[in-house]
Amino acid sequence: MRDEREVKESAFIYRVKPSGVDRLDEALQTNQLITGWAKAKGLLNKELNWVEFREVIRKTYYADDQTLRRAGAAAGNLWRFIREMKPGDLVVVPHGNDFYVAEITGDAIYDDTKVDEDSAYRRPVRWLNDKKAISRKLADADLLLRMKTWNTSARADDLLDKIHNSLNYARVGKRPTFNSQLYTRLIENTLDEIQNGFIDDRGFEKLIESLLRKLGAVDTRIVPRQQDKGADILATFRVAGIIQQVVAIQAKHWKGKSPVSFEVVQQLINGIEAEGADLGMVITSGAISEKAREAAEQYFEKTGVNIDLVDGEMFAKLLVESGISNSVASA
């Protein structure tokens, strides 16, 4: 890995699961990243511009769609894989309760013997940490949240330091002792206060609103109960100082670890569509049920709209790492 870089290092989150098939073992054995959309041939042609690139995918996979949403989302994933990744970049590959980190070592290739397996597009990599999994417990909250995307890929340039931190923690098997103990205790205390303290539903929403502003929201609004169409909070983020993205949030606060159900995700979907939001989030003090995860993933596959699911432990981590965990007691 380069310690001093003449070319700026980039980072990506990438799921090695073409057509829903887990190919991580193969990726580790072959020292390659593997992605799908294999029947969309010719995408390695550097003469293709973005529109032409997307059109190949649309004609191959989404010819009957009335919009370009799914074709655009698929093209975005492949464009990042083929055009944006470069040797030396880091790629975080989520897998269950762990994740792996690889360094790109060469250009994308197309293996036409793998078309039937939907795994023809590949990239050579060097797997870091001796190809060993890294526990998600060694990742900071914002890296964990980025890994929760339902999308095949996402850029993570802003998390490079966090990725390197996780690699360093993995080498010794834990965080630095004092920091680790303090960090763990703060998260435990914050989670306990959220689940069992005196904070009420409105206080929980205000706490989420404070966190969203810390995460970069330029505007937030708690939706009055009589105007609630499925979103409890609306937050606006500005990308590159120009483009606005609206995030619809469903807040679920209750005592203990009760799981969020499928119905909660459906409520949020109603809110996303009613408010014309670009993204969605469910933030709960409890847990996330498997049915809720399935509902969020199905909605993403259908519409290309991502729904992040943040459970109580993740929310507590975000509060601690944003420096506003002390607000819990007074929310």
For 138-181, the pLDDT digits (tens) are: 888 889 888 887 778 888 999 999 999 999 989 887 766 656 67
How many CA atoms within 13 Å lie on the side-chain side of 26? 15
C-beta pairs of 208-212 under 8 Å, 24+ apart in sequence: 208/233, 208/249, 208/251, 208/283, 208/315, 209/233, 209/235, 210/324, 210/327, 211/315, 211/318, 211/319, 211/322, 211/324, 212/247, 212/249
Question: What's the pTM?
Answer: 0.71
Specify whether 298 is located in the same domain as 163. no
**Could you read off the pLDDT of 199-211 as tens digits, one per residue?**
888 999 999 999 9
pLDDT at 330: 47
**Could you read off the pLDDT of 25-71 as tens digits, one per residue?**
999 999 999 999 999 999 999 999 999 999 999 999 999 998 888 89
Specify whether 160 is located in the same domain as 60. yes
Domain count, the chain: 2
Specify whether 22 is located in the same domain as 168. yes
Please report which confidence band the pLDDT of residue 212 belongs to, taking 50, 70 and 90 as the band edges: very high
Specify whether 247 is located in the same domain as 109. no
User: Residue 162's domain spans which residues?
Assistant: 11-172
Specify whether 119 is located in the same domain as 238. no
Specify whether 209 is located in the same domain as 123. no
Question: What is the average per-residue pLDDT within 318-326?
Answer: 77
Specify whether 249 is located in the same domain as 272. yes
Specify whether 18 is located in the same domain as 140. yes
**Could you read off the pLDDT of 126-143 as tens digits, one per residue?**
999 999 999 988 888 889
pLDDT at 326: 54
Question: Per the domain annotation, does 2 fall within a domain?
Answer: no
Q: Is there a contact between 206 and 213 (Cβ–Cβ < 8 Å)?
A: no
Please tell me the distance from the alpha carbon of residue 165 to that of residue 127, in angstroms, as a whole number.
Answer: 16
Specify whether 316 is located in the same domain as 240. yes
The larger pLDDT score, comparing residue 154 to residue 122, is at 122
pLDDT at 280: 94
pLDDT at 231: 92
Question: Per the domain annotation, does 323 fall within a domain?
Answer: yes
Specify whether 39 is located in the same domain as 156. yes
pLDDT at 328: 53
Query: Residues 6 or more apart from 1 whose CB is under 8 A from it?
Result: 103, 128
Specify whether 128 is located in the same domain as 232. no
Q: What integer best gives the mean pLDDT of the chain? A: 88
